[in-house]
Structure 1
Amino acid sequence: MTGSEGARPNRLPWPPMLLAIAAVIAIGLGVVLPLPLPRSDIVMWIGYVVAALGFAIDGWAILTMRAARTNILPHRAADRLVTWGPFRFSRNPIYLANTLLLIGIGLAAGNGWFVPLALLMAVLVDRLAIRREERHLAIRFGNAWIDYAAATPRWLIR
């Protein structure tokens, strides 16, 4: 292993920090400058379903990583390359789940700020964490990572 990326991908745990920041900003903006969504039972229930889906994917991914006995913290080195469970469908199911969770909360609560901030958070996570994590994984796992990355989308769709 060479370079600091082989040791760990980031110094800070960007994804959970960005999730929390996006949620706090959305709540604050919802109070001072509301961006309401259509208030209907269907929008609210879609929000609940999307949030529950995000929560379920998050839990599935975390349990899969725990079963693999690998680190789940985004600023620590990976112990193993996990390619099963939700990682068959997305190289980043936790980050996908976090995005869905924020969008779902926004829809359920009628706070439109959650939607653009969830998308902004996803872009920032991609730039500040995912790209660095992928370099780290390529260094640590070589061809196994290259094959996995070629077969599995970064988010959900190529």
Structure 2
Amino acid sequence: MELRIRPVVQVALAIALMAGIGRIAPAPAVELSWLTAVLATGSLAFLFAPAVRFSREKTTVDPVHPERAERLVTGGLYRVSRNPMYVGMALLLGAVAAWGFAWGHLAVIALFIWWMTRFHIIPEERALEARFGEEYRDYKANVRRWV
């Protein structure tokens, strides 16, 4: 892996950055609690359902060591996204942004998506392709990276 900082730590850093931006550029007088609830609920689904599937498949969920995967997981949310847990993290950042909106929050979300793609997803894809070969290439050809 190119980056060994766990994604959960990176999400926490992004949330801290969003909190700092919220203090520097306070939220406008817009009530977005309904959007916060929708995004937070979606986030939980995209974070926990894949973890349960990995457990059932008896394979690793460790994003720092994808080469340790015992089998390729392609069911459930993995039919609509190759990276549903990262989608869940982005949705969580969206919920945080909606909770105390500041325009800079959108930049943090975009930066997070770029960062995760560059430093986690692309290296994970290389490792999974090396591990599962044609099976992973077929999967990759049929399922989008994000959504």
TM-score by length of 2: 0.90
Q: Distance in 2 between matches of 1:128 and 1:139?
A: 17
Distance 2:3 2:107 in 1: 26
Aligned to 1:146: 137
Which residue of 25, 30, 49 corresponds with 2:38?
A: 49
Number of the residue aligned with 2:89: 98
Counterpart position of 1:36: 27
Q: Deviations over 1:58-114 (max 9, x none)?
A: 111111111111111110132221000110100000001100111112102334443
Q: Is the 8 A contact 2:15 2:96 kept in 1?
A: no
Aligned length: 145
What residue number does 1:16 align with?
8
- What is the CA RMSD across the aligned residues, in angstroms? 1.6
Which letter maps to 1:15?
P
1:39 Cα deviation (Å)? 1.6
Question: Take 2:28 and 2:94, find their aligned partners in 1: how far apart are those partners?
Answer: 12
Return the alpha-carbon distance in structure 1 between the equivalents of residues 129 and 116 of structure 2: 18
* One-letter code aligned to 1:80: R
Identity over aligned pairs, percent: 28
Give the Cα–Cα distance (whole angstroms) in 2 for the partners of residues 48 and 113 of structure 1.
20
